[in-house]
Amino acid sequence: MRIYMVRHGETDCNVRGMFYGWHDCDINEKGIAQATSLHEYFKDVEYDKVICSDLLRAKHTAEIIVGDKECEFITNEKLRELSFGDWENTYPDDIHKQYGYDTKNWGKSIWDAGLIPNGESHAQFYDRIVAGFQEIVAENKGKTIMIVAHNGTLCALFAYLTGVGRLGYWNFFAHQGCYNSFLVSGERVLVEGINIPAK
């Protein structure tokens, strides 16, 4: 099966540099333009189904990409970004002031449960994403699908599909306005491209 993956378009929270995992914001004007560029690329590409995170920014991006193309369209909450719990919709400086935690170095300890108050550890997040993806693959064998989600979600999937596992998560970044393509056949994965500009 071929799997296309797309990160949602830019949001104002991206521009402000906020932590906003499950905070449900929409894409901004630039995000709409990025999704429109992807629509232009994919309008002549055949795919059977779009599966997107149920958060608005991913759903809106997916709706623009699909346009009037006839295909199955479903949302899946397992594809959500990392839950930042009490850190949702806040700035890194505010987290440092309130919790005494320097988020610039959080990659060293974010795997620990309880680091983010009422949020997910990175290990919990990675396991959720992989389990959800395995379900998607099992249900869509032989199909071409598109997943529209978040940077964290896609980085977890890149780490999983390339075999580096969760500790290799920080080696990846999913750019907005680009697409990613993988061929999955049983245990074999072919990486066709990561962060391909939609041109």
Q: Which of 23, 39, 60, 81 is catalytic?
A: 81
Task: State the residue range of the domain holding 77.
Answer: 2-197
Running DSSP on this structure, what letter comes out for residue 6?
E
pLDDT, tens digit, 9 for 90 and up, residues 72-108: 999 999 999 999 999 999 998 898 888 877 777 666 6
The Cα 93–Cα 75 span in angstroms is 33
pLDDT, tens digit, 9 for 90 and up, residues 5-62: 999 999 999 999 999 999 999 999 999 999 999 999 999 999 999 999 999 999 999 9
The Cα 53–Cα 70 span in angstroms is 19
How many domains are contained in the chain?
1
CATH of residue 151's domain is 3.40.50.1240
Residue 39 annotated to the active site: no
Name the E strands within 13-124: 49-52, 72-75
- Rounded-to-10 torsion of CA 199, 21, 165, 188: -50
Residue 8 annotated to the active site: yes
pTM of the model: 0.95
CA–centroid distance for 85 within its chain: 18
